[in-house]
Amino acid sequence: MGKPKRHLLATAEQTSSPPAELAEGQSIARVRKIEGNNLYSVDLPSGKEPLLVELPSRFRSQIWIKLGGFVVVDQNAFENRNNKLDGEIANIVRDEKQWRKQAYWPSEFVKQSTYPDDSENEESTVGKMPPSDEET
């Protein structure tokens, strides 16, 4: 039997708004790769090597994490354990626009446009006529 709907709503409410400040040992990270069952490789804004973090059971099968999305990582969660995990996902950034307004949002994670800039490409062919035989 699945989890009650009240658990789903409570989890969604918890992740919908950003906290006033991050706790000691927490930082915002970008999801780089899905490593396995509830394990994710994330990049910190400092640019160090990626961390391997675990998704806690309260988020599993309720909130989905997409590649390139942002999460709050608690590095103190597995500090005393000797294993390959570097931390635990404490929160998932769902409304990125609200989170970016917070003072603790790292400046290294700038907003990327979803469409490539046309100036980098040669020429856009949308709406143009193909060259005629006389022009070639």
Average pLDDT for the chain: 78
Query: pLDDT at residue 114 above 60?
Result: no
The reported pLDDT for the residue numbered 57 is 86
Is residue 89 within 8 Å of 34, Cβ to Cβ? no
Spell out where the chain has E strands: 26-36, 39-43, 51-54, 70-74, 87-92
- Whether 119 shows a pLDDT value over 50: the answer reads no
Give SS3 for 97.
Answer: helix
In this prediction, residue 121 has a pLDDT band, given cuts at 50, 70 and 90, of very low
pLDDT at position 124 over 50: no
The domain ranges of the chain are: 23-100
Q: Which of 105, 94, 85, 91 is nearest to 36 (CA)?
A: 85
- Structure tokens that stand for 51 in this block: 């961390």
- The dotted CATH code for 23-100 is 2.40.50.140
pLDDT tens, residue by residue, 9-21: 666 666 667 888 8
How do residues 25-56 score in pLDDT, each as one tens digit?
A: 899 999 999 998 899 999 999 888 899 999 98
Question: Residues 88-114: what's their mean pLDDT?
Answer: 83
